[in-house]
Structure 1
Amino acid sequence: MRPSQKKYYMTYNNSVLVGNWSEERLKNEYDFKLFLRKRDRRELLLQRSRNLFSNLLKEKTLAISGTFLMFGYNVQVVASDMPAGKSVGDKPQYGLALSSLVSERQVDYMENINDGCLMTLSPIVTPCCRNSFVLLSANDETIHGQKLNYGDEFLLKAENYGDPQAAPLYVRYTPSGVPEPADRMPIRLSSTKDINCRWTTMPLLPRDRLEGLGSPIQTGKRLIIKNCVADKSLCVMNENWMQTFFGPECGVTCRNYIDIHKRFTARNVFTLVSDVAVKKKA
């Protein structure tokens, strides 16, 4: 290239503003003010996540009912025979607690449990908002202090410690009228109290089911929990582990797993726990 054909460009020092500098400055100022306003209103995603963890994982002392399960007291639904996916030293840990789940997409607009929250089984068995329920009679929710017997229908009302004034939520099974996928998880929290929210229990061993019907249930007793409408037992979806906002958790549904001796397998074995000491023994 000839020297006469060279193009000379004008150079600027650092004090010269180029481009849409005015619009960019105004936009940065607006973004900063918007950030301050969201921070003051506690609307930032980080703040919402902290509030969510604080509300759902806040430890709570269970209202212990004593030796037997009673209506009106707190319980946890624990699959005591299933491995928790972690171990302390060489000793494996067992126990998965029925828990409500808030997904990553719901964190933006939810800070407590709500209608439609999916139910999972979590290795976190410490009593907290997401895994503690109130045992209520399906016939009269005002009953308090009466023993729960095998065969009695009951409701599991979720404990919402973050918003006690919110509408009550119940553990509900949604049956499917058509063949469903094996990994479908139909148990959720619902503000609609209908017959799909009714559950019942029966003894674990077949030889005890006839004589045990109508007898009180001991705290931490291994038993079978059935949905009254579907007539299927609560079970662990051990092949359906997922990574959630609270760590790896397992799916839960209603399905019968029976061996050749007509006994329920470990997937269907649960305990209703109302005492931390009993849970550790189980």
Structure 2
Amino acid sequence: MAAYSPGVLIGNWAEEALREEDRLRDFMRKRERGELLIQKINKMQDKLLKKIQLSVSKDGFVHFGDTVMLLNPVNESRVGNGPGTCGSLALAASLGETWPCAAGPPPAPREVSAVESTDPVGRNAFCVLSVDGVTVGEPIRFGQNFRLGTTGAFSDQMFYLASDHKSFIRFAKKSYLQQVFLTDQLSYLTCWQATCLDPQLRLEYEGFPVPANTKIIITHCYTNRSLAVPRNFWTRSYFGKEYEVICHTYLDSHKAEEDKNHWEVVTGNHSDEDRTMIDRPDPRPEGDQKEGVL
């Protein structure tokens, strides 16, 4: 009788070998089709971080059909070490806290956030769209409805920036205020308006073209609340630190919107196609910049 040795096969060794071969064949088949999770993640990341060329405004205004960034500028007078004292933040499409653990990107409605990266890429570039059939190339005017659509960050399908009234089941995760999200359904929830920054001049500016790279207020038409970044609510995602974006009007003692509601529609730099207008140096002398002299 032969003595037992480690080379002796015991148990369901034949079944285990067949299962291992099946797993290997399944892996090879998915890799050829690009269905592996790591391949899906790489494709999604390439779309989100793909360099986007912003539209150049020759007349200094925002037009329908323009590809732009929405920037919540930093308030220089409040820069410090306290909460919410980060730099300028760009509105961006978010994949949520569960990605990339999930098998694919989350379905609509999708989340939005504000990120510190202000380089125009797939996730933070938006296309300005008409609501009432205005011709592409026409300037947007104060008080006129418009939509903001994604530029193909997720797929070939376009998603639209939207918001809706807060309810018991629909609210922002951190602040519990009115949620802002991306949806693939066209409705009045996806309509926005640009408002002059100075409350005392809003009637005078009604109907005038909206200037690019200038602070304005962006108001949601359905709820009449302003797009905002509180800056004290944030999460860690696959791409780093991301701040919560909501619809809420923050008013100071003069009944004017606070810097949380301030936005700039950023366009491309006409003198450098790879940069934006926010990258242009300030033409004012250094002393005037510090003292705020215009």
Q: TM-score range by the shorter chain?
A: 0.7 to 0.9
1:73 aligns with 2:73: no
1:259 aligns with 2:252: yes
Contact 1:82 1:267 survives alignment (8 Å):
no
1:155 alignment partner in structure 2: 147
1:110 alignment partner in structure 2: 104
1:61 aligns with 2:53: yes
DSSP-derived class of the 1:81 partner: coil
**Number of paired residues?**
263
- Separation in 1, partners of 2:131, 2:91: 20
Q: Please, what is the CA RMSD of the aligned residues?
A: 2.6
Query: Any unmatched runs of 5+ in structure 1?
Result: 1-9
- Equivalences for residues 5-16 of structure 1 within 5 A: 12-16=4-8
- Separation in 2, partners of 1:114, 1:134: 21
1:222 aligns with 2:212: no
Per-residue CA distance 1:28-67 (angstroms, 9 max, x = gap): 1111111111111111111111111101110111122331
- Separation in 2, partners of 1:279, 1:114: 33
Query: Any unmatched runs of 5+ in structure 2?
Result: 269-274, 283-294
1:187 aligns with 2:180: yes
Give the counterpart letter for 1:253 in structure 2. I
Per-residue CA distance 1:112-137 (angstroms, 9 max, x = gap): x8632111111122112211111112
**Per-residue deviation, 1:262:** 1.3
- Equivalences for residues 110-189 of structure 1 within 5 A: 110=104, 115-140=108-133, 143-160=135-152, 163-164=155-156, 166=157, 168-177=158-167, 182-183=175-176, 186-189=179-182
Aligned-residue identity in percent = 27
Larger strand fraction of residues: 1
TM-score, scaled relative to structure 2: 0.81
Per-residue CA distance 1:82-119 (angstroms, 9 max, x = gap): 69xxx9xxxx96211111111354544436x8632111
- Separation in 2, partners of 1:135, 1:76: 10
**Per-residue deviation, 1:163:** 3.7
TM-score, scaled relative to structure 1: 0.84
Per-residue CA distance 1:161-217 (angstroms, 9 max, x = gap): 6643x3x32111122256957335621111111111110011112222222222112
Q: 1:254 to 1:30 in 2, by over 3 A?
A: same
Per-residue CA distance 1:239-274 (angstroms, 9 max, x = gap): 210011211100101001111121211111111111
1:280 alignment partner in structure 2: 279
Give the counterpart letter for 1:173 in structure 2. S
- Separation in 2, partners of 1:161, 1:254: 23
Contact 1:114 1:189 survives alignment (8 Å):
no
Q: 1:186 to 1:231 in 2, by over 3 A?
A: same
Contact 1:77 1:98 survives alignment (8 Å):
yes
Contact 1:114 1:169 survives alignment (8 Å):
no
- Separation in 2, partners of 1:143, 1:206: 29
Give the counterpart letter for 1:278 in structure 2. M
Q: 1:73 to 1:241 in 2, by over 3 A?
A: same
2:9 to 17, 31, 52: 17
DSSP-derived class of the 2:277 partner: helix
Give the counterpart letter for 2:222 in structure 1. V
1:99 to 77, 85, 92: 92
Contact 2:89 2:115 survives alignment (8 Å):
yes
1:6 alignment partner in structure 2: none
Contact 2:212 2:266 survives alignment (8 Å):
yes
Contact 1:183 1:240 survives alignment (8 Å):
no
